Amino acid sequence: MELVARRDLILVVSGLGLGLVALGLSRLRRRRVARGQLWASPLTTCSRRAIAACVEAGAEFRFVPIHLAKGEHKLPQYVALQPYGKVPAWRDADGFDLFESRAIMRHVAEGTQLIPTDAKALALMEQWISVEYSYFYPAFMPIMYMRVLKKAPLDETKCQQLRTELEPTLDMMEAHLKLSGHPYLACGQFTLADLTYLCYFQVFGAAGLQDALDKRPALSHWWLRCSARPSWKYTVSHAVVADYACTSDPLGRAKPWDP
């Protein structure tokens, strides 16, 4: 009898020990802070994704503005960092280089609340990031090029056709937000699934799509909730744009980020 009790005690104590180790490890995972340097143009969608991820993740980073109009993204020293000559680009404090905004957002957010640990929430986050890249971006971006950036000749028929392609994704987001009962796309917390879309909704009005948002109440509330976050306000604030305006040498004059 005494033996059984002792064995049970040992089991309980080792169970508790394992639990504490697991708790410690999960705490440790949550404490990771990205450190490095971000080259970006704060007025562009891809840069905004990366800036918001850095700010939201609490990364310690130097922000290096790249002036697209001056062609700074085509300078050889920048192309050595981003071989396509596009923004953004990232360098870890240990010298590890990375480009592509979605890769940067994942890297700087690793070990933070922006990436859920729950398997289903994580899978949903990946689903919505994939929807953004596969369906949302291809339909939205050409409209943005025509109506906002005016880099392509305006073709209203084409815009209408692209909008028709975008609508099912907006419907799916609306239905998912309504049915899941969650305030955010992947779960109850703000994750990269939400963050990756903010750069587009920021310019929805300018892209002539405001009514597409207004007629979807769950999506409208989600946008209000997300765009009120301090990280997003900073990302689209004059502070970033002012840094951007006063820089002449993108690689030589990195400025410490000042929240």
Query: Binding marks (x or -) toward ligand GSH, 101..130, rule CB under 6 A?
Result: xx----------------------------
Scan residues 71-90 and list those touching ligand GSH (CB under 6 A): 73, 86-88
Cβ distance to ligand GSH smaller for residue 121 or 162: 162
Using CB under 6 A as the binding rule, whether residue 46 contacts ligand GSH is answered as: yes
Residue with tokens 């056709």: 161
Which two three-digit tokens encode residue 160?
A: 């209408």
Q: Which stretch binds ligand GSH (CB under 6 A): 3-11, 38-46, 183-191, 219-227?
A: 38-46
- Please state, as a whole number, how many other Cβ atoms lie within 10 Å of the Cβ of residue 118: 13
Give the nearest distance from C-beta 136 to ligand GSH in angstroms.
13
Cβ distance to ligand GSH smaller for residue 177 or 236: 236
Number of residues that bind ligand GSH (CB under 6 A): 11
Give the nearest distance from C-beta 241 to ligand GSH in angstroms.
15
DSSP string, the chain: -HHHHHHHHHHHHHHHHHHHHHHHHHHHHHT---EEEEEE-TTSHHHHHHHHHHHHTT-EEEEEE--TTTTGGGSHHHHTTSTT--S-EEEETTS-EEESHHHHHHHHHTTSTTS--SHHHHHHHHHHHHHIIIIIHHHHHHHHHHHTS--S---HHHHHHHHHHHHHHHHHHHHHHHHH--SSSSSSS--HHHHHHHHHHTTTTTTT-HHHHHT-HHHHHHHHHHHTSHHHHHHTSHHHHHHHHT-S-TTT--EE---
Q: Which stretch binds ligand GSH (CB under 6 A): 31-39, 41-49, 111-119, 219-227?
A: 41-49
Give the nearest distance from C-beta 22 to ligand GSH in angstroms.
35
Report d(CA 176, CA 172) in Å as an integer: 6
Give the nearest distance from C-beta 181 to ligand GSH in angstroms.
31
Cβ distance to ligand GSH smaller for residue 149 or 159: 149
Interface pick for ligand GSH out of 67, 68, 149, 220 (rule CB under 6 A): 68
- Residue closest to ligand GSH (Cβ): 86
Cβ distance to ligand GSH smaller for residue 43 or 212: 43
Scan residues 234-253 and list those touching ligand GSH (CB under 6 A): none
Which residue type, as a one-letter code, is found at position 9? L
* Residue among 46, 21, 30, 252 nearest 133 (CA): 46
Q: Which stretch binds ligand GSH (CB under 6 A): 4-12, 42-50, 162-170, 229-237?
A: 42-50
Give the nearest distance from C-beta 88 to ligand GSH in angstroms.
6
Interface residues with ligand GSH (CB under 6 A)?
44-46, 68, 73, 86-88, 100-102
